Amino acid sequence: MNRLPLGISRLDRMIGGGAPAGSVVLLAGEAGAGAREFCYTSAAMNGLAGSDPDQFDRYYGDLESGTTLPDAVHYVSFTDERDAIVDEMRFVLDDDLVDAGMAGVSVVELAETYFQLTPVPTDWYSDRTTDITGLGDRADRRDVLEALGDYLTDHAAGNLVVIDSLTDLVSAAEDRFAWADLTVLLKGLKRAAHRWGGVILLLVNAETLEPTELGRLKEATDGTLLFEWESGGSERARTLVVEQFRGVLSRLEDEDIVQFETEIHDGGFDISNVRKIR
């Protein structure tokens, strides 16, 4: 089975080189527990592999046998523009890694579709001058789910796509579309991704979801990585649990691995310790 690197070298080595091609992976976490940093690291590191192989070797190391780099890397945002994403990455990753890595990443901004017909002033998210009366013409507007689906159809095959974040779609589901529309789209995405052969990462803040809602998102994806805070005495540690993952979880279970302690440094998100069943 061909695999694409997630960009976190220690984790990739433990799971056979990366995620199975065709995977849709849900990254669900508590605020600040590492899910967003995982996305930043995955995008920047895979972008670095194409833009600066020497730096990639320094930060990541050698790829595992049977692992193939994605043809391209795409970062999808519903609310932020490229400069804001890159600036945020600089708080987490080394500047050289961000500069070289993001040079190999295509950032798509769906803010215009996401914010249209909301109270948000047009000039906050669009460079175009738009007559407010034109916003009422349904022929001129697209649903954000439709825009996302069209973009993935055109760009996901063979590529790594990071979607930041499903939390934005969850909040929009209250009055823009039905919750069922989102879950059906993800189930369709899961089917299509198997044909496309790339890897799609879906970021979501688990704290904004009811248990049944989170369960439906898990059901609609191939894998779920849970990012949580764990308290021990006076200290808190970030942890990662691979709750389910087609073609990955069985490898970890064979090693009796149940949880990873994680850390975030200049090289991005990383695994610092492995907890095994005793």
DSSP secondary structure string, 8-56? -HHHHHHTTSSEETTEEEEEEE-TTSSHHHHHHHHHHHHHHHHH-HHHH
Its pTM stands at: 0.92
**The pLDDT of residue 82:** 95
Helix (H, G, I), strand (E, B) or coil at 20: strand
Q: Regarding predicted confidence, which is higher, 174 or 168? A: 168
**What does pLDDT average to over the chain?**
90
Name the pLDDT band for 60 (thresholds 50, 70, 90).
very high
Give the C-alpha separation, 132 to 121, whole Å: 10
Q: Is the pLDDT of residue 192 over 80?
A: yes
Q: Is the pLDDT of residue 128 over 80?
A: no
Q: Is the pLDDT of residue 229 over 80?
A: yes
Q: Number of helices (H) and strands (E), helices first, in the chain?
A: 12, 11
Give the C-alpha separation, 265 to 200, whole Å: 24
Give the C-alpha separation, 218 to 113, whole Å: 26
**The pLDDT of residue 73:** 98
Q: Is the pLDDT of residue 235 over 80?
A: no
Q: Which domains does the chain have, with CATH numbers?
A: 3-276 (3.40.50.300)
**Residues 36 and 206 sit within 8 Å (Cβ to Cβ):** no
Judged by average pLDDT, the poorest of 11-20, 124-133, 137-146, 241-250 is: 124-133
